[in-house]
Amino acid sequence: MTPEFRPVFSGGTGRSGTTLVGKILSRHEFVLAGNPYEIKFLTGKGGLLDLVDGIPIPSTSNILKIVHLISSGRRFLNLAQSKRNIEELEKRILYDWWERPGKRGGTAGLHLGFSLPALNAEIKQLKLEYRKHPLCSTRNFFYKVVTSHKNFENSKVFVDTTPTNIERAHQISELFESALFIHMQRSGKDTISSVLREPWGPKRPLAAIDWWQKKLQSANRAIRQLGPDQCLNIRLEDLVAEKRTETYKEILNFLKISDQEQMNKYFVEEVDGDRAHIGRWKSDERLDNEFHRKFNRAVSELLDEGIPAY
């Protein structure tokens, strides 16, 4: 199907400002972002990208010739495997991603913005089409589900803020040719200090350095495979404190959207260095001398690989 919107994916390490970008952009009348900010069903384990993993995706020049064929040369996927793939996706959507505890109380998940009957209808259609046309059916599922969002009307841009978007950016860009990416980066020490407070993150500071380093390496591998105009790199510190106006305008220009009063008002009044906890690592007693020595080595290794790190 022809997409009715441009998909934009904000990503980075966890706690790097990916959701903040979504919150700013959600105030634009032609941007759909939020409810939920992270849809999960694209990059999550058992999600849409896993449905097409291992199936070569044809280039634009060839796609019209083989639009309804398995691009690997196989006419059909294995029936049993196809069934397992769809069942896994259905299970994750209905039991893991539909409704889950919110970070600050309440609930989060797909139920905030989507209709369960509409989701079930699209899952049913995917089951019918996937085995013969995995690429087309997977694309169609994504576009149809997004356009079924209760706030989709008039949206020209859809923004998802799942952090792992950036690590899988190359796969996403192959599936959705018009996709754009915003890579959020944050001081490594602030990122680690913040992640150590999360139930899903590493529990020890030294282990968190390894986690952070691997995340940056994975993101860099994916970004290097994107086109020159597909990805915008943003430092959180620039957005909230050091180069606020310039960075804000850079995002608007990248997405080719105009500034709007409601969005600008939110940015001016709600986005600042204090709320983003810039420099929080300085008061974190868990980050001792051993931590700083290992962190500095990790930064040097990343810089040697050509990966910006600070």
Report pLDDT digits (tens) over 164-204.
999 999 999 999 999 999 999 999 999 999 999 999 999 99
Whether the Cβ atoms of residue 267 and residue 305 lie closer than 8 Å to each other: no
Measure the CA–CA gap between 81 and 181, rounded to whole angstroms. Answer: 31
Amino acid 55: pLDDT: 84
3-state secondary structure of 181: strand
Angle in degrees, 0-180, between the axes of helices 188-195 and 205-223, rounded to the nearest 10: 120
Query: Which burial class, exposed, middle or buried, applies to 101 when counting CB atoms under 10 A from its CB (0-12, 13-18, 19+)?
Result: exposed
Q: Are residues 124 and 165 in the same domain?
A: no
| pLDDT tier at 161, thresholds 50, 70, 90 | very high
Residue that terminates a domain, selected from 103, 119, 150: 150
Q: For residues 114 and 218, state if they share a domain.
A: no
Q: What is the pLDDT of residues 89-148, one digit of tens each?
A: 999 999 999 999 998 889 999 999 999 999 999 999 999 999 899 999 999 999 999 999
Instruction: Write down which residue in 104, 124, 150 finishes a domain.
Output: 150
DSSP E strand boundaries for the chain: 6-11, 31-33, 100-101, 107-108, 157-160, 180-185, 231-235
Same domain, residue pair 24 and 55: no
Q: What percent of the chain has pLDDT over 90?
A: 86
Whether residue 191 sits in one domain with residue 114: no
Kindly state whether residues 83 and 189 are assigned to the same domain: no
Q: What local confidence, expressed as pLDDT, does residue 57 receive? A: 76
- Asked if residues 187 and 17 have their Cβ atoms less than 8 Å apart, the reply is no
pLDDT at 34 exceeding the cut of 50: yes
Q: Does 242 lie in the same domain as 103? A: no
Q: Are residues 132 and 203 in the same domain?
A: no
User: How does pLDDT run across 205-219, given as a tens digit for each residue?
Assistant: 999 999 999 999 999
Q: What is the pLDDT of residues 209-256, one digit of tens each?
A: 999 999 999 999 999 999 989 999 999 999 999 999 999 999 999 999
What CATH code is carried by the domain that includes residue 4? 3.40.50.300
Residues 6+ apart with CB under 8 A from 279: 187, 190, 273
As a whole number of angstroms, the distance between CA 81 and CA 74 comes to 14
Predicted pLDDT at 75: 45
Cα gap 4→149, rounded to integer Å: 13
Check whether residue 143 and residue 255 sit in a common domain.
Answer: no
3-class DSSP assignment, residue 191: helix
Which pLDDT does position 148 carry in this prediction? 97
Pairing of strands 100-101, 107-108: antiparallel
Enumerate the β-bridge partners of residue 268.
none
On whether both 28 and 52 belong to a single domain, the answer is no
Q: What is the 3-state secondary structure (H, E, C) of 99-111?
A: CEECECECEECHH
pLDDT of residue 54: 83
User: For 46-72, what is each residue's pLDDT tens digit?
Assistant: 999 999 998 877 654 444 444 444 444
Last residue of some domain: 90, 121, 150? 150
Are 70 and 20 members of one domain?
A: no
Say whether both 16 and 62 belong to one domain: no
**Hey, CA dihedral for 214, 101, 273, 17, is it positive or negative?**
positive
Count of structural domains, the chain: 2
267/248 Cα distance (integer angstroms): 8
Q: Inform me whether the pLDDT recorded for 77 exceeds 90.
A: no
Q: Are 148 and 118 in contact (CB under 8 A)?
A: yes
Tens-digit pLDDT profile for residues 263-309? 999 999 999 999 999 999 999 999 999 999 999 999 999 999 999 99
Question: Which CA distances in Å does 297 have to 62, 78, 113, 300, 304?
Answer: 46, 47, 44, 5, 11
On whether both 102 and 181 belong to a single domain, the answer is: no
Cα–Cα distance between 245 and 308 in angstroms, integer? 22
pLDDT at 82: 87
Q: How far is CA 173 from CA 63, 130, 229, 268, in A?
A: 14, 20, 12, 32
Residue range(s) defining the domain that contains residue 57: 36-150
Question: How far is residue 162 from each of residues 13, 113, 138, 266, measured CA to CA in Å?
Answer: 10, 16, 19, 21
Alpha-carbon radius of gyration of the chain: 20
